[in-house]
Homo-oligomer: A and B are copies of this chain.
Amino acid sequence: MILTEGHGQLAEVGYARFSARELAKRIGYSVGTLYNVFGSLDQLMLAINGVTLDGWRSYLQTRLLAAPPEDRLKTAISAYFEYAILNRHAWTAIYDFRLPEGVEAPDSYARKVEAIFDIVIVEIAAVLRPDRRDRAPALARSLLASVHGHCFFTINATFALLGEADPLGAAYARVSEAIEACNR
């Protein structure tokens, strides 16, 4: 309940204007309680970003459920963009927020990231030649990065600045080429 409200506030105002005090006000507790529960703002942010990751994974899964077999990859990429655009602030907060140097994210958080990654691995593997399926994880990582770049440049207006009219199409083209190259 703290987390859903926190996620809500983050989605509204964005990472830069997110405030623990404001969240405390919204859930009807005092600031101190938030700190007793989470220990620090960093841990709270981590937990809220975890909610976003869960929602993102869930969105991808739902969209893929209704995807025609021949269009699953396109659906996955579209869903990636859609969630980011529909949840601009929460999505960008995943990348805006960084743990202090040296501190690394707990396993629970890493698993949420891996869960999204795993969805993509399956889809990539499905379109690879059977004897090349072992390349799916590495290819999925790389294509996830490519799609992320396209999505990020869409959301932070870099593409708009450069006059790119079809970021989604470009992302899909790059993914298709890579898979084709791997299957050749």
Contact = CB atoms under 8 A, between A and B. Distances in A.
A18 to B, nearest CB: 13
Contacts of A171: 142, 145
Contacts of A159: 141, 145
Contacts of A129: none
Contacts of A96: 96
A161 B94 CA distance: 15
Interface string A130-174: 000000001001111111111011001111011010010011011
Contact of A138 (B113, B153, B170, B180): B170
Contacts of A117: 162
B158 A146 contact: no
B150 A146 contact: yes
Nearest to A117: B162
A21 interface: no
A113 B96 CA distance: 20
Given A113-B162, A138-B164, A170-B142, A150 B149 contact: yes
Contact of A152 (B149, B157, B162): B149
Interface of A: 16, 92, 95-96, 98, 104-105, 110, 113-114, 117, 138, 141-150, 152-153, 156-159, 161-162, 164, 167, 170-171, 173-174, 177-178, 180-181
